[in-house]
A and B are shown apart, each in its own frame.
Chain A
């Protein structure tokens, strides 16, 4: 199974600052089509998860351009620019390169 390992944020992050969340996979997530099968989600307190980015760096419909995904085949970063109170919650990375699909353990973002 592909293991997803997420980093920890130095919380809380001051409103207006940037935050970068890291995620590492135990195997390359690049498929033979050249795409990197890595998703990022935000789960706000008491809500269902929301897809932020897919294919490592493509923003989902309606997602603010303050969210940007980047990385290589095994190391990934989600950058949140100019953080706002509404960005608070737990962020999860997920690999969809192969079954079983696996998630990172989550990274909590608190806003000051």
Chain B
């Protein structure tokens, strides 16, 4: 059974940093691209970052480019999202998803507030 378990969320002040983790199981992690998607409270879905299966290439929208970094440790079957210079508009539930979006984690809440 495929499982994706996110962690690392919480309350953080504007301008500070936070690192999310997503531990994967039930599939061969190093064969698949991975993606982070977020959802602000009461709002729709927004793509945040994607990474190839080897970690050799990464992709971001302009809204997070230069502030967020997606990475992975294939030996640990773990996906990461390093978030720097956080803003109030980054407040959201963050989901990790497998390549074709057919599996999602339960999500982790990040609140950016002073």
Contacts and interface: CB of A to CB of B under 8 A. Distances in A.
A binds B: yes
B100 interface: yes
Sorted from nearest, which 4 A-B pairs have the closest CB atoms? A101-B47, A48-B104, A100-B61, A103-B45
B53 to A, nearest CB: 16
B100 A48 contact: no
Given A48-B106, A48-B107, A99-B59, A104 B44 contact: yes
Interface of A: 39, 41, 43, 48-51, 54, 60-61, 90, 92, 94, 99-106
Interface of B: 35, 37, 44-47, 50, 59-62, 95, 100-102, 104-107
A49 B45 contact: yes
B62 A48 contact: no
A2 B59 CA distance: 16
Given A54-B100, A100-B61, A48 B47 contact: no
Nearest to B102: A51
Contacts of A90: 44
Nearest to A99: B59
Given A92-B44, A106-B44, A48 B102 contact: no
Given A60-B102, A100-B59, A102-B47, 13 more contacts: A41-B101, A51-B101, A54-B100, A90-B44, A92-B44, A92-B45, A99-B50, A99-B59, A100-B60, A100-B62, A103-B46, A104-B44, A106-B44
A88 B45 CA distance: 17
Nearest to B106: A48
B102 A61 contact: yes
A105 B59 contact: no
B95 A48 contact: yes
B104 to A, nearest CB: 4
A49 B104 contact: yes
